[in-house]
Amino acid sequence: MSGGRDGRLGVGVIGAGRVGPVIAAALAGAGHALTGITSGSDDDRVEAILPGVPVLAPEEVVRRSELVVIAVPHDQLLGLVVGLADLEAWQPGQLVLHTDAGYGVEVLAPALRRGAIPLAIHPAIVFTGASSIDLRQLAQAYAAVTAPGPVLPIAQALAVELGCEPVVVDEENRAAYAEAVATATQFSRSIVRQSAELLAGVGVENAGAYLSALVRSSVDQALTEGAGTIGADGIPPDATIDG
């Protein structure tokens, strides 16, 4: 992998859902050249985000790229990596990066055996698919980074180029990390939906907008309080326990 004298890379993306095109746009904004992206359910949206970027088959994206970004659903990732290995698509020295929260780099072992360099970077945001919103979110976000020791600085640098603050999560901790992320997103969505329905039921118009500042300030307060409000037994120090 040459990457050019200035360290810029030819970047290809496999996955044209909410995540892949935004990651591509962020890396292009950092000066990397986009070599191609796979087709998705809405190629017109991808064209609007990434005008002129070729739409290619996955194996052709891999063939053309020095950095391959894989942004596919969790249950498709391993099969995709294995399938491309069976086609002998992976190249020695090529960077292969996936964005899944639940996997570290072990899932990329078939590419590693072909000489590729495995990286895992999960930006801790909920992607909307709207590039302008998501790029702003990336600039304020952290990203979980997992990589073999010698190439960890590469993964960290790529996270920074996405706009994120990198946080190293060890391979053995990725499952727990994914559970933490899922708990936060699923619980918050459920509670906000329930609150919005209750407000709408009492006649509050545009309940989502009404809750916006309240939810943000509540989350900020919870994050500020942090772990200091929880005792070693997991119970807040001022909690009353019946019985």
Task: Please check whether residues 101 and 208 belong to one and the same domain.
Answer: no
Flag whether 233 is in a domain: no
Task: Please check whether residues 103 and 182 belong to one and the same domain.
Answer: no
Flag whether 97 is in a domain: yes
Of 51, 10, 24, whose CA–CA distance to 129 is shortest? 24
What stretch of H or E contains 191? helix 174-201
Question: Residue 1 — pLDDT band, cuts 50, 70, 90?
Answer: very low
Flag whether 239 is in a domain: no
pLDDT (tens digit per residue) in 158-171: 999 999 999 999 99
- Give me the pLDDT at residue 208, please: 83
Task: Please check whether residues 96 and 197 belong to one and the same domain.
Answer: no
CA distance 98 to 105: 8
235 or 179, which is more confident? 179
Range of the domain at 61: 10-169
Question: Residues 149, 153, 155, 161: what is their CA dihedral angle, to the nearest 10 degrees?
Answer: 170
CATH of the domain at 149: 3.40.50.720
In the chain, the DSSP E strands lie at 10-14, 33-37, 67-70, 95-98, 117-123, 142-146, 165-168
Flag whether 147 is in a domain: yes
Cα dihedral 28, 30, 33, 37 sign: negative
- Give me the pLDDT at residue 189, please: 78
Over residues 47-57, the mean pLDDT reads: 96
pTM of the predicted model as reported, rounded to 2 decimal places: 0.82
Task: Please check whether residues 44 and 94 belong to one and the same domain.
Answer: yes
Task: Please check whether residues 103 and 122 belong to one and the same domain.
Answer: yes
Flag whether 5 is in a domain: no
68 to 34, 59, 94, 123, 164: CA distances (angstroms): 10, 11, 8, 16, 19
Kindly report the three-state secondary structure assignment for every residue of 106-174. Answer: HHHHHHHCCCCEEEEEEECCCCCCCHHHHHHHHCCCEEEEECCHHHHHHHHHHHHHCCCEEEECCHHHH
pLDDT (tens digit per residue) in 210-220: 887 787 787 77
Over residues 22-35, the mean pLDDT reads: 97
Number of domains in the chain: 2
Question: Where does a domain end: 169, 185, 215?
Answer: 169
Amino acid (1-letter code) at residue 204: V
DSSP 227: G
CA distance 109 to 40: 26
Name the phi and psi angles at 153, rounded to 5: -60, -30
Task: Please check whether residues 75 and 94 belong to one and the same domain.
Answer: yes
Amino acid (1-letter code) at residue 51: P
Q: Would you put residue 44 in left (φ > 0), alpha (ψ -120 to 50) or beta?
A: alpha
Task: Please check whether residues 211 and 138 belong to one and the same domain.
Answer: no
> How crowded is residue 129: how many other Cβ atoms within 10 Å of its Cβ?
14
Asked if the model's pLDDT at residue 45 lies above 60, the reply is: yes
Task: Please check whether residues 145 and 195 belong to one and the same domain.
Answer: no
Over residues 186-194, the mean pLDDT reads: 82
Task: Please check whether residues 146 and 195 belong to one and the same domain.
Answer: no
- Give me the pLDDT at residue 8, please: 92
